[in-house]
Amino acid sequence: MEGELSAAEAERGWAEILTCAAGVEGEGPLRLDLHHLELPDGVSVAAGITALRALLHEHGAVTLIGAPQMLAHTLYKIGSLNTAGLRLEDVREDEPTTAN
């Protein structure tokens, strides 16, 4: 996955990710490389959480590789990392930004 999913694009973007993942078969967890996916706002992160729940339901196990820091932090805060089947690898350390 790559690109930026802002609030206006979040629902459509995550729907595309779900559609692509629906065709994936094979053993082991579904592995999503998110190194090049940007989630610039809370809406896009929230839409991602909803999509990840659907992926977990469908695949049983999901590994996120290079997840944006805010997504990983939110998953931790809501207790989703304690859920069997969701794993993080190589979480990005995104540069902090501030509004001036």
Give me the pLDDT at residue 100, please: 46
Alpha-carbon distance 75 to 79, whole Å? Answer: 6
Q: Is residue 87 classed as helix, strand or coil in its secondary structure?
A: strand
In eight-state DSSP terms, residue 94 is: P
Question: What is the model's pTM?
Answer: 0.81
Count of CB atoms situated within 10 Å of the CB of 24 = 12
Q: Is residue 47 classed as helix, strand or coil in its secondary structure?
A: helix
Alpha-carbon distance 87 to 73, whole Å? Answer: 13
DSSP β-bridge partners for residue 88: 64
Give me the pLDDT at residue 27, please: 66
Give me the pLDDT at residue 48, please: 92
pLDDT in tens, the chain (100 residues): 678 888 888 888 888 888 888 777 766 788 889 999 999 999 999 999 999 988 888 888 899 999 999 999 999 998 888 677 899 998 888 665 555 4
CB-CB contact of 55 with 30 (8 Å): yes
Q: Which two tokens stand for residue 6?
A: 């802002």
Alpha-carbon distance 53 to 59, whole Å? Answer: 10
Give me the pLDDT at residue 20, please: 81
Q: Domain residue spans in the chain?
A: 2-18+29-89
